[in-house]
Amino acid sequence: MTQRMQESDGILRVPGDKSITHRALMLAALAPGRSVIRGALTSLDARSTARVLRLLGAAISPLRTGAVITVEGRQRFRPPARVLDCGNSGTTARLLLGVLAAHQFPSTLTGDASLRRRPMRRITEPLVAMGAVLHGAGDRLPLTIEGGDLSAGRWTLPVASAQIKSALLLAAAVARVSLELEEPASSRDHTERMLRRFGFVIGHSPGRLQFEPTGEFRPTTFEVPGDPSSAAFLLAGALLAGISELSIGGVGCNPGRIGFLAVLQRMGAVVRIDDAIDAGGEPVGTITVTGSSLGGTTISPAEVPGLIDEIPMLACLAARADGTTRFEGVAELRVKESDRLALVARNLTAIGAHARVEGDDLVVTGSSRPLAGRVVTEHDHRIAMAFQMLGLSRGCTLQVDDPAAAAVSFPGFADHVDQLRRRR
């Protein structure tokens, strides 16, 4: 059963936040006793995390839409009886590497063909420096990590990355060692917020985090808000479809996750957040977007970490805006589920839009000309969702080769596409 639009108030609901669901499952699995997760995402990626945690000894109830998830955690994981298959989920693999670095047994991680192409060295190098032992190439799955007595340390992150930061923080929390991190720019802080709930002290100053192992994992209840990245696709889809106003309720409004709203505003959309509350340390509210004529803008490198997942959608929106939109310093798109930088530009060009890659920048010039053709997703969920939204724009006739790829992060996405189409 999928969540559907509430026609009485025009408010749409999106599935639970993917980033928070992954972390809630892992932290609950590390807390001896029963934890409860409400509103969890039940996508393929989230199920990958639940699957590998079960192999490590946690008892996790089935992830079903609308169900309350229970987790019987354990203070220390047990050695897995077989290889840990992380599916398509980079978050699963990278965060789990951090957790397993503090467990003194070998574990082998693998994934699907897409995940096996994604780099892991940014995670494994600092973990090895802390005391973990790595068997394998070190930069690609499959690889085997054997935990050890980790030592306190200091590490400078090569890029602003919530996954790298979270892996190292989780390793330090499980191993109970201090850690100092320097990062070139701010990134999502869900892990920090959640660790503070368990009593861990995390000091923050511009460009620096100081972690102290003062806390203790204990059973708790997690409330997972709606995923702002999923909401971004629908909000942009409403603008593309010419829908006068769309509201999405119960969405996570963490400042590190809603950078796309500032971009929508600069492009000319009217955006507001209502009914804001604090839910388990995360701000939650109703996001409303009102359409208008859109124009091009520039996204600076400093903004990119806060909207990296939404760039394919924003690029599709830029293809229908007046003027040129430049996405600066988006090299990180090359190491996502696909080479999103090349794939977005190639698909936009193939359907008749104007897009090009200039070094690490993506440049899109909008027009109202009819767009038509086949979109190649390479099974990337963000590409599949972005171009299905672009297909709602009048004058667009697109054939997305794998629309079902959206299920990786957004179960029921096809129903939402139909709902927006009916409202045009």
| Residues with active-site annotation | 309
Residue whose token pair is 């749409």: 12
Contacts of 128 (CB under 8 A, 6+ apart): 134
HSE, side-chain direction, 13 A CA sphere, residue 171: 37
Is residue 244 packed enough to be buried (19+ CB in 10 Å), middle (13-18) or exposed (0-12)?
exposed
What are the distances in angstroms from CA 326 to CA 176, 287, 322, 355?
44, 25, 13, 10
Report how far residue 323's alpha carbon sits from residue 300's, in angstroms, rounded to the nearest whole number: 17
3-state secondary structure of 273: strand
Q: How does strand 84-85 pair with strand 208-212?
A: unpaired
Task: Locate 410 and state its tokens.
Answer: 């957004």
Report how far residue 226's alpha carbon sits from residue 217's, in angstroms, rounded to the nearest whole number: 25
Residue whose token pair is 């574990």: 107
Report how far residue 375's alpha carbon sits from residue 352's, in angstroms, rounded to the nearest whole number: 11
Report how far residue 105's alpha carbon sits from residue 387's, in angstroms, rounded to the nearest whole number: 44
- Find, among 316, 309, 314, the residue nearest to 298 by Cα: 314
* Terminal Cα-to-Cα distance of the chain (whole angstroms): 24
Q: What is the DSSP string of 365-377?
A: E---S-EEEEE--
Residue whose token pair is 């969702």: 385
Report how far residue 283's alpha carbon sits from residue 291's, in angstroms, rounded to the nearest whole number: 25
Task: Locate 208 and state its tokens.
Answer: 């620096």
Report how far residue 163's alpha carbon sits from residue 123's, in angstroms, rounded to the nearest whole number: 8
Query: Is residue 386 within 8 Å of residue 66, measured between CB atoms?
Result: no
Contacts of 227 (CB under 8 A, 6+ apart): 14, 15, 16, 17, 18, 19, 41, 251, 252, 409, 410
